[in-house]
A and B are shown apart, each in its own frame.
Chain A
């Protein structure tokens, strides 16, 4: 499992269908991740579409030094922050009209009931802490990749994760006892 890098290589070699594989593997995860920032599923979807369009337009921007998933999440984060900045500037806040969308997205990305419970509890954690737990527990990323996406050092991610776990144990109560 190389998180899409080999599929992207095949896509660059001219195999158009490889892009479908990338989309299938990474698209909704990316939307779900971006949604954590923008709290608007439609906007998150829009941003994710832009990030994927970037992969086609700027074909050689991705240099295979990190996994394609990490790269896409980095692009997604940066675009999400830009979006938040614009939204703040224009003060047009489209508050969660799309709760249904968010719900179905969560079901699509998190098949495991336990992960959904964690995701729900993550909403109550500070942003960075929640993000660290999201990337490492829900997305299964390495500390290094999570640190790259969050633009922090692996040590900082480790600290956030430690504190996040502590908070989650309290929030999840008995269910959180086994949370490692």
Chain B
């Protein structure tokens, strides 16, 4: 049997060894973790922007128009403005189409809010004047890929026919929209 001094020396020796062992383990963990974190950072740095791009482009498709920092990018090429009598006016100038879209864009809350998800889809081929109660002006934006979005401006209400939305306008907004569309009361 060892005497107390020997036992004490043994206690100190073992505790030192264990402390060294713990430090070694900690260093190993750090040695593994640092490169791992770096790798993850690089991986995420590569992956996240591309995922962001994907999401952004998906959003653009969804919104029928791509937003930019300063506003939006209009990808419509033609606008048909039609009255209930059947006479219509085609707008094909890119600047004018963009202007019209901007005027609508500012009023339609469904654009860019994701609200469209909550409303049903409408057959784009269906006649604009299917509902006889609506007698205002029909405004249809046509995209290069054939897609379209249709509105009816009736008094102070703008109907988004594509998404079945009723957008009440103020007197002022309705007047501004009429002016942009070149419609006289």
> Are A50 and B8 in contact (CB-based, < 8 A)?
no
In the complex, A57 has a CB within 8 A of chain B: yes
Q: Residue-by-residue, is B1-43 near A (CB-CB < 8 Å gives 1, otherwise 0)? A: 1101001101110110011001000000000000000000000
Q: Is A101 positioned at the interface, with any CB of B under 8 Å from its CB?
A: yes
A57 contacts B7, CB within 8 Å?
no
- Chain A contacts of B15 at CB under 8 A? 53, 56-57
Q: Tell me whether A23 and B7 are in contact in the complex, defined as CB-CB below 8 angstroms, given that A50-B14, A56-B15, A101-B1 are known contacts.
A: yes
Known contacts A53-B18, A57-B18, A57-B22, A42 near B1 by CB under 8 Å: yes
Show the binding face of B for A, using Cβ within 8 Å. 1-2, 4, 7-8, 10-12, 14-15, 18-19, 22
Contact B2 A53 (CB under 8 A): no
Residues of A within 8 A of B (CB): 19-20, 23-24, 27-28, 41-42, 45, 48-50, 52-53, 56-57, 98, 101, 104-105
CA–CA, A126 and B12, complex, Å: 36
Q: Are A49 and B4 in contact, with the CB atoms below 8 A?
A: no
A24 close to B4 (CB less than 8 A): yes
Chain A residues near B14 (CB-CB < 8 A): 49-50, 53
Residues from chain B with a CB closer than 8 A to the CB of A42 are: 1
Chain B interface mostly helix, strand, loop or mixed? Answer: helix
CA distance A6 to B93 in the complex (A): 91
Known: A23-B11, A50-B14, A57-B15. A45 touches B1 (CB 8 A): yes
Scoring B7, B11, B19 by chain A CB atoms within 10 A of each residue's CB, the highest score goes to B11
Taking CB atoms, residues of chain A closer than 8 Å to B18 are 53, 57
B18's closest neighbor in chain A, by CB? A57
Given contact pairs A53-B18, A56-B15, enumerate 9 new A-B contacts (beta carbons under 8 Å): A23-B4, A24-B4, A48-B7, A49-B14, A50-B14, A52-B7, A56-B19, A57-B15, A105-B1
- For the complex formed, measure the closest distance between the CB of B71 and the CB atoms of chain A, giving whole angstroms: 61
Residues of A contacting B12 in the complex (Cβ-Cβ under 8 angstroms): 56
A20 to B12, CA, bound (A): 11
Tell me which residues across on chain A come within 8 A of B2, comparing CB atoms. 45
CB distance from B15 to the nearest CB of A (A): 4
Q: Are B7 and A27 in contact (CB under 8 A)?
A: yes
Query: Judging by beta carbons under 8 Å apart, are B4 and A98 in contact?
Result: no
Separation in Å of the B88 CB from the closest CB of chain A? 84
Name which residue of chain A comes closest to B22, CB basis.
A57
- Asked if residues A52 and B11 are in contact (CB atoms below 8 Å), the reply is yes
Instruction: Please report the C-alpha to C-alpha distance between residue A50 and residue B1 in the assembled complex, in whole angstroms.
Output: 16
Q: Which 8 A-B pairs have the closest CB atoms?
A: A56-B15, A53-B14, A53-B15, A101-B1, A52-B11, A57-B18, A49-B10, A53-B11
Are B1 and A41 within 8 A (Cβ)? yes
Residue of B nearest to A50 (CB): B14
* Chain A residues whose C-beta falls within 8 Å of the C-beta of B4 in the assembled complex: 23-24, 27-28
State whether B1 touches A20 (Cβ < 8 A): no
| B contact residues around A28 at 8 Å (CB) | 4
Q: Which residues of A contact B7 (CB under 8 A)?
A: 23, 27, 45, 48-49, 52
